Structure 1
Amino acid sequence: MTRKDPIGPEFYVPLAVSEKFYDVTFYLAAALSIVVLIIDKASQPKLYEAVQATFVVTVVGFFVTGIVIKTYFATRAHSSRFADFVSNAFSVPLVPSPSEGYYNTPGRDPFMRIGASVLENTLFTRSILARMLRFERARICVYVLVWLWAAIYRAADLELLAIAAQVLFSEQLLSRWVRMEWLRSRVERLYDDLFALIQSSSDTRSKEFRARVIEALIRYETSKAQAALSLSSHVFNKLNPELSLRWLSVCSQLGIAPATDPAA
């Protein structure tokens, strides 16, 4: 089957670029905040002023980039993906260039396709988050241990310790890790609930099944929106072959045929 995903290059690539710039400005601002404390203002006034000015510009850039990401890049990317998702479920083109072969969703009933798509999405999302969390947990452990050591060590400079605390408890480190753990937990529960729903439902056209499928879709989308996280495309590409095979196994267990199956 031909695979085409115009949503990714058009909307998610700019989002990824802006998020990388956001990360760079964050770490640059953190580094400059320490450099400002180290430079002797009396003996090197010009260097101090240059670093201070660069620090201010970096902080402003960090703030503006964060606002633009949340109100523009992330919003339009997620809205376009959701519109493409609904287009696939109901076979109605809600976007100018719908994706082809992106969703491995079976069945002709739109609500069954929605349920299968959400189930597939939760399978991929929880697996990608689990792999991403390996690095995040290790990084947080290192930062926390270093910060605790500096806090206990009496000779540590209090100003440097305060800056380290701001970095550690910022949105980019501790908050990001907590949101990743929370989203992984939510998605895992949703996957189990949706798997049990499809497995136990004898009539997929009943009002109860359709209501629960829509409720699962809302839970998934609102959880992603609340977490405000982008999944790693590198991890996705690395795990995609393995997860695609696992999805085929899940379809077999539930008695549904994936879209790549000629019988679908």
Structure 2
Amino acid sequence: MTRKDPIGPEFYVPLGTAEKVSDVAFYLAAALSIIVLLVDKTTQPKLYQAIQATFALAVIGVFVCGIVIRTYFAARAHSGRIADFVSNAFSVPLVASPSEGYYNTSANDPFLRIGASVLENTLFTKSIVAKMLYFERSRIGIYVFVWLWAVLYRATDLDLLTVAAQVLFSEQLLSRWVRMEWLRSRVERLYDDLYALIQSNSDITSKEFRARVVEGLIRYETSKAQAGLSLSSRVFHKMNADLSQKWQSLSGQLGIAPSKSPGP
């Protein structure tokens, strides 16, 4: 089966680019906030003013990027993906160019297709986020250790400590790690719930099964939206083959007939 995913290049690639721009602006602002403390404004007033102006522009850039990402790029990407998801489940073209071979199940019942697709998505998401957390935990651990050492070391300048605290407790560092841990935990629970639901329920036409499947879809999508995180494409491509093989085995155990295309 041919695999085509127009949603990724059209919506998620611009989202990834916007997030990279936001990260660059953040780290530039963080670096300038420290550099400005090391410049003597009495002996080098022009350099000091230039750094201050650049720092102000970087801070504004971080703010603008955050607003644009949340209200436009992320919202547009999530809307496009869920529309494509529903199109696949009910075989109704809700988007101009629906994906082909992206969802690895050929179940005929639309609600079973939804349940199987969300289960596959949770398998990929929880595994990728868990892998991303190896780096994230190490990075946060180093930052926290250095900051605490600086706090306990009495010779550390108070202004430098304040700047370091602002960087550490920012949206891009400590908050990102907390949201990543929350998303991993949330998706892992949903994965277990959906697996148990599909495994134990023989009547896929019952109202209870369909209601729980829809509830699972809503839980998954709202969890992603609340976390506000994009999965690493590098980690995805690295783990894709193993996760696709694991999904083939898992779907076989559940009696879901998957297609032979790669995972999402």
TM-score range normalised by the length of the shorter chain? over 0.9
- Matched residue of 1:170: which SS? coil
Give the aligned partner of residue 119 of structure 1. Answer: 119
**Native 8 Å contact 2:105 2:256 kept in 1:** no
Give the aligned partner of residue 108 of structure 1. Answer: 108
How far has the Cα of 1:145 moved from its partner?
Answer: 0.2
Matching residue's letter, 2:85? F
Give the aligned partner of residue 144 of structure 1. Answer: 144
Q: TM-score, normalised by structure 2?
A: 0.98
Matching residue's letter, 1:106? S
Matching residue's letter, 1:89? A
Measure the CA separation in 2 of the matches of 1:191 and 1:178: 20
Measure the CA separation in 2 of the matches of 1:56 and 1:165: 18
Q: TM-score, normalised by structure 1?
A: 0.98
**Native 8 Å contact 1:106 1:112 kept in 2:** no
Give the aligned partner of residue 17 of structure 1. Answer: 17
Where do 1:178-189 residues align within 5 Å?
A: 178-189=178-189
RMSD across aligned positions (CA): 0.8
Matching residue's letter, 1:82? I
Give the aligned partner of residue 231 of structure 1. Answer: 231
Matching residue's letter, 2:51? V
User: Structure 2: which 5+ residue stretches go unaligned?
Assistant: none
Measure the CA separation in 2 of the matches of 1:226 and 1:175: 12
Give the aligned partner of residue 59 of structure 2. Answer: 59
Give the aligned partner of residue 164 of structure 1. Answer: 164
Which structure would you say has the larger RCO, counting Cα contacts within 8 Å and 6 or more residues apart?
Answer: 2
Give the aligned partner of residue 2 of structure 1. Answer: 2
Where do 1:30-49 residues align within 5 Å?
A: 30-49=30-49
Give the aligned partner of residue 28 of structure 1. Answer: 28
- Matched residue of 1:175: which SS? helix
Matching residue's letter, 2:116? A
1:73 aligns with 2:111: no
Measure the CA separation in 1 of the matches of 2:174 and 2:96: 39
**Native 8 Å contact 2:25 2:62 kept in 1:** yes
Give the aligned partner of residue 176 of structure 2. Answer: 176
**How many residue pairs were aligned?**
261
Give the aligned partner of residue 90 of structure 2. Answer: 90
Matching residue's letter, 1:159? D
1:133 aligns with 2:130: no
For each residue in 1:237-257, what CA deviation from the matched residue of structure 2 results, as whole angstroms up to 9, or x when unmatched?
111000000000101111111
- Matched residue of 2:106: which SS? coil
- Matched residue of 2:41: which SS? coil
User: Structure 1: which 5+ residue stretches go unaligned?
Assistant: none
Measure the CA separation in 1 of the matches of 2:173 and 2:58: 18
Give the aligned partner of residue 254 of structure 2. Answer: 254
For each residue in 1:133-156, what CA deviation from the matched residue of structure 2 results, as whole angstroms up to 9, or x when unmatched?
000000000000000000000000
Matching residue's letter, 2:95? V
- Matched residue of 1:162: which SS? helix
**Native 8 Å contact 2:201 2:209 kept in 1:** yes
Matching residue's letter, 1:62? V
For each residue in 1:88-123, what CA deviation from the matched residue of structure 2 results, as whole angstroms up to 9, or x when unmatched?
000000000000011102311000000000000000
**Native 8 Å contact 1:87 1:94 kept in 2:** yes
Matching residue's letter, 2:32? L
Measure the CA separation in 1 of the matches of 2:178 and 2:61: 25
Measure the CA separation in 1 of the matches of 2:53 and 2:249: 57
How far has the Cα of 1:14 moved from its partner?
Answer: 0.5
Runs (4 or more) in structure 1 with deviation over 4 Å come to none
**Native 8 Å contact 1:150 1:161 kept in 2:** yes
For each residue in 1:26-70, what CA deviation from the matched residue of structure 2 results, as whole angstroms up to 9, or x when unmatched?
010010011111100000001011111111111111111110000
- Matched residue of 1:204: which SS? coil
Measure the CA separation in 1 of the matches of 2:40 and 2:84: 56
**Native 8 Å contact 1:106 1:116 kept in 2:** no
Matching residue's letter, 1:183? L
**Native 8 Å contact 2:4 2:101 kept in 1:** yes
For each residue in 1:182-222, what CA deviation from the matched residue of structure 2 results, as whole angstroms up to 9, or x when unmatched?
00000000000000000000100111100000010011011
